[in-house]
Chain A
Amino acid sequence: MSLETLGFLARWAHLALAVAVVGACAVLLVGGRSDRPTARAWEDHVLRWLRRLVLLALASGALLLAYQAAYLSGRAAAAFEGRTLALVLFETQAGHVWLVRHGVLLLLFALVSLRADVDRPLDWVAGRGQALVLGAGALGLVAAGGHAAAVKPDPWPAVTIDAVHLLATGIWVGGLLPLALLLRAASREEGADARPYAVLAARRFSRLALAAVVALVVSGTGNVVTQIGSVAALVGTPYGRLLLAKLGLLLPILALAAVNRRRLVPALSGEAATVGRPAMRRLARFVTAEAMLALLVVAIGAALGMTPPARHQQPDWPFAFRLSLGALQSAPELRLRALIGSQVAVVGMAAALAALVIRSRRGPWLASAAVLAGLGLGLGLPPLAIDAYPTTYVRPRVPYQAASIAQGARLYREHCAACHGRSGAGDGDRAATLPRRPPDLRSPHTAQHTAGDLFWWITGGIPRAAMPAFGDRLGAEARWDLVNFVRALGADTAARTLGPGVEPGRPWLVAPDFTFAVGPTPARALKDYRGRRIVLLVLYTLPDSRPRLAQLAANYNVLALLGVEVVAVPGDAAPDAIRRLGADPLILFPIVTEGAREIAAAYGLFARAPHAEFLIDRQGYVRARWAPETAPVRELNLLLADIQELNQEKAATPAADEHVH
């Protein structure tokens, strides 16, 4: 058995035991104190089990710690090395959480082992309540050592949501088996004395379980949003697929729970011999089955904890199509069909909701609502479908950076321009010999495809259009460089519509990130200014740009005061750029000496002029562009007004590189 399987089994056992501990404490408290002999016997039985469960939880926790030491250090032998165990316990966050949780479990063990005098009702409630609080602490804190704890920048909301999820599981799932024990005992001939107690406990537990299920759904949705975040990640990653399996397993459990709640629990108080006791026996069986299925759900939960969260994984899209509203832009004749279909589907869903509210004739209502919704979706969705590939939702492995775009431009000239044309217009020398003309890479149509789509085509080619595959000729990084270049080409056309003034609240053109250095100083990235400063990027050519540089230098203190950094890039990427500028004017803002060639190549796509300026906001979007060929260089007063505009803007848009398609 592999180390991972062992780790998984330990994790599953530990989680299930912690869940069972909370459930046992909760059910005891829900049932309340009773003088009936059968109920007292059941309580003792549950308490005996509780002690064993806590001991087993401690033991499986120790196993989990040993696994952790072996896994983190990468050596199986480290599982039993004191030094590594100490490192895990005292030097990692998960280790601290482990220490606290197992301390709490030890306290709980001491508490349930004490034969304390709890005959007074208040003492009884206090004793059981303390046990529940300790058990809940040990279970809820699991969240502080899991995926939720790694959420950036602030993990605590995610940890809280996850803790609620764990506790709701504990109360519902963990309570099932002790409840089944009580029902079985009370359904026997000799257990008749505890029957009213069992009926009351089952009813109370049923209400509590319903509340727990609602909490599970809400917190589970929260977990999905933080750890998965997209449909592609849900269907295209191991984590997402595990979650789907978990949800699939939940359906029969919820169906059982619904039958229990609506049919069996109300029947418990019926006439004992014919209705009440049979219902109680059946409820005991159903509740046991529910608990067994739930144990499998907990197993998937344990596996999810060991699987990389979908958000950080590259999704492998399993379908040959995806749905996009963009499909309607290229096929206007389908718009009516999509519109009618969507309206029919909305009517169908409204009818389904109405059927749930109106109680009479629910069956026919629901059936016709389902038919309507199905019909509407069948009519409305197909026009939205466009081709998709396994890599469609893959995030670029090489970030959208100036250096990558410049490298992509070189590769494009070498491998692509012959057919696609130097400018991407599809007018290369060999275009005429192809079965069909290459598309205009600068058109908005290109921007509708994801970076992953482009990567798929470059890698595998498009046989029907005679586009060759580059997967075996160019490395993955080179192909991503090409993708970045093609995206910059698409942005190039869009950039031409960018006005000289800042349009308030409308960031859309992502500024390619770049790294630069000034002389021997450490390299800086555009990204480093994110959230801090506005960047005025100046591509200049001497001697024509000298007056403008002098003007900016003279007003640099004002600009800096307004939160602006000026970054000047020599268009010719001369390594001695600073010396060439001379002593006058005195320039205090960075003149890029390293990285200039790449910046000029990438931003040159957005403005082909000897002198160009770009105003980049704090979220990393280009908000204004000036090049003398389109608009004269921004007069300083207007520039200051633009900057004021950006300063007053609230940062509602997500940071640029998260925004890429």
Chain B
Amino acid sequence: MTKRMIAAASLALPVLLSGVLGAAAHAVLDRADPRVGSTVSTAPSEVKLWFTENLEPAFSTIRVVDADGRQVDRADGRVDADNPALLRITLSLLPAGTYRVLWRVVSVDTHVTEGEFTFTIAS
């Protein structure tokens, strides 16, 4: 391999590699309470999300909104002190309806994951 070829290859590499860097998901949502997509009969007072990796509290956020996009949580989303893989937020008393949980977390290996799911409170 000549030096020129090596130089060409090293220039091409970042381009080739940048394609795979966009992939998401490091700390993956393991389970949630209320369950992802579930219908519950009583309004939950709290939403809890368990992830597959420990989280960085400074950059991990969670929001809960109603069908109109209005925020219904108490803005106290935090990573649990005893379990660094658990993200939780408390809710105001919710009427029946469908709610969206939006989260963006950073795992301790500094990777960002975003996601959302809905749950429904039956009337």
Contact = CB atoms under 8 A, between A and B. Distances in A.
Contacts of B53: 150, 152, 312
Interface of A: 2, 4-5, 7-9, 12, 68, 71-74, 87-88, 91-94, 145-150, 152, 238, 241-242, 252, 289, 292-293, 295-296, 299-300, 303, 306-309, 312-313, 398-399, 401, 403, 477, 515, 520, 523, 525, 527, 594
Interface in B49-64: 52-54, 56-59
Given A150-B27, A152-B85, 17 more contacts: A2-B18, A72-B56, A87-B59, A91-B56, A147-B109, A150-B108, A152-B52, A238-B23, A289-B1, A293-B6, A299-B17, A307-B20, A309-B26, A312-B53, A313-B23, A477-B36, A523-B33
A92 B36 contact: no
B92 interface: no
A5 B58 contact: no
A312 B52 contact: yes
A68 B112 contact: no
Of B3, B13, B38, chain A has the most CB atoms within 10 Å of the CB of: B13
Nearest to A309: B26
A74 B104 contact: yes
Given A5-B18, A71-B112, A515 B59 contact: no
A12 B13 CA distance: 11
12 contacts: A8-B14, A8-B18, A92-B108, A299-B17, A306-B111, A307-B20, A308-B25, A308-B111, A313-B23, A403-B35, A403-B38, A477-B36
Contact of A308 (B3, B24, B33, B41): B24
Given A152-B85, A292-B6, A91 B57 contact: yes
A477 to B, nearest CB: 5
A297 to B, nearest CB: 11
B69 interface: no
B49 to A, nearest CB: 14
Contact of B110 (A68, A398, A527): A68
B120 interface: no
A303 B18 CA distance: 8
Contact of B21 (A4, A147, A293, A515): A4
A506 B97 CA distance: 46
B52 to A, nearest CB: 6
A84 to B, nearest CB: 9
B3 to A, nearest CB: 7
B17 A8 contact: yes
Contacts of B57: 91
A515 B48 CA distance: 13
A94 B110 contact: yes
Nearest to B110: A94
